[in-house]
Chain A
Amino acid sequence: MQKRLSELEFSESGTVRDIFASRHELNCLGVRVRKHLTMITRQPIKGPVVVAVDDMEVAMGLETARCVIVEVDRP
């Protein structure tokens, strides 16, 4: 099942399938296609969204998180 990154629930994990925002902005922070990540927190209203990638926390705006498509891990 695919979701927008902004829709992942707390502690839900998945693999990045596509990025429709600035790839460079996310790539240099370690968020890339085929990367595995876990939702840490999604703040209300306008974010930020914080995910764990390679044991590092990466924060991004809600709009950016909406542009990242994630294949959700099966429970």
Chain B
Amino acid sequence: MAAHNHRYTILMMGNPNVGKSALFNRLTGANAVVSNYPGTTVDVTRGFLRKERLEYEIIDVPGAYSLEARDAAEEVAVRILGGHPDAVVMVVLDATRVERGLYLALEVMEHGNPLFVALNMIDAAREREVSVDVATLQEILGVPVVPTSAVRGEGMLDLVEAVHRAQPPDIAAIEARAFGEVKCPAGERPLSIAGTAGGVPE
């Protein structure tokens, strides 16, 4: 077997039922149980992806709504994040409900791990005519945002490439950009993380 020069550890984190396990299976060729209801993953699943001379250990973290754990799955998620301070975090968002996933995403960002976002279920978003301004979201968060569809295999290579561009988020800068200090093309309104649909995270 060929020796690998470097191993990256990637934690896949997100709300329940956003397609983390389906993405995990796509990336690793594994066969983790996938279902269309939340809470399927309550334990840790690990898999490996090898590309060129690099090896990526991918950890499918149980879905959580918050890092203030309220059940066994969230306790596992908190423990894994705390136990991997050097891991790259892939925050998985449901592209049809981006705002909902940002609460956990921002909590994860406060941990300071290098991070990027997989905007999963982008195919479902298109079908529902939900349009996500990926460029503006990326600019506000200051980390790579990659549209993906685990079902169709869309964006998988872009995800692997994004590992190398992952950034430790700057929460203060995100807050400043979210409240209007983001450059948008002329005539377009800045996207607000606080939610143009209403709702102020506290």
A interface list, Cβ under 8 A from B: 15-16, 23-25, 27-30, 32-36, 54-56
Interface status of B104 (Cβ within 8 A of chain A) = yes
State the CA gap A15–B197 with chains docked (Å).
11
State the CA gap A36–B199 with chains docked (Å).
9
Q: Would you call A33 and B200 a contact (CB within 8 A)?
A: yes
Which residues of A lie under 8 Å from residue B104 when comparing CB positions?
28
- Of the candidates A15, A16, A23, A34, the one having the most CB atoms from chain B within 10 angstroms of its own CB is A34
Interface status of B202 (Cβ within 8 A of chain A) = yes
State the CA gap A16–B66 with chains docked (Å).
21
| 27 CB < 8 A contacts A-B | A15-B198, A16-B199, A23-B202, A24-B68, A24-B202, A25-B70, A27-B103, A27-B201, A28-B68, A30-B99, A30-B100, A30-B103, A30-B199, A32-B195, A32-B198, A32-B199, A32-B200, A32-B202, A33-B199, A33-B200, A34-B199, A36-B197, A36-B198, A54-B99, A54-B197, A56-B97, A56-B100
Q: Would you call A54 and B100 a contact (CB within 8 A)?
A: yes
Q: Would you call A28 and B198 a contact (CB within 8 A)?
A: no
Which residues of A lie under 8 Å from residue B68 when comparing CB positions?
24, 28
Q: Would you call A28 and B199 a contact (CB within 8 A)?
A: no
Of A24, A25, A35, A55, which one neighbours B199 at CB under 8 angstroms?
A35
Q: Mark B49-79, 1 if CB is under 8 A from A, else 0.
A: 0000000000000000110101000000000
CB of B41 to closest CB in A, whole Å: 18
A36 — nearest CB in chain B belongs to which residue?
B198
Q: Would you call A34 and B200 a contact (CB within 8 A)?
A: yes
- Of the candidates A15, A29, A54, the one having the most CB atoms from chain B within 10 angstroms of its own CB is A54
Of A25, A32, A55, which one neighbours B201 at CB under 8 angstroms?
A32
A29 — nearest CB in chain B belongs to which residue?
B65
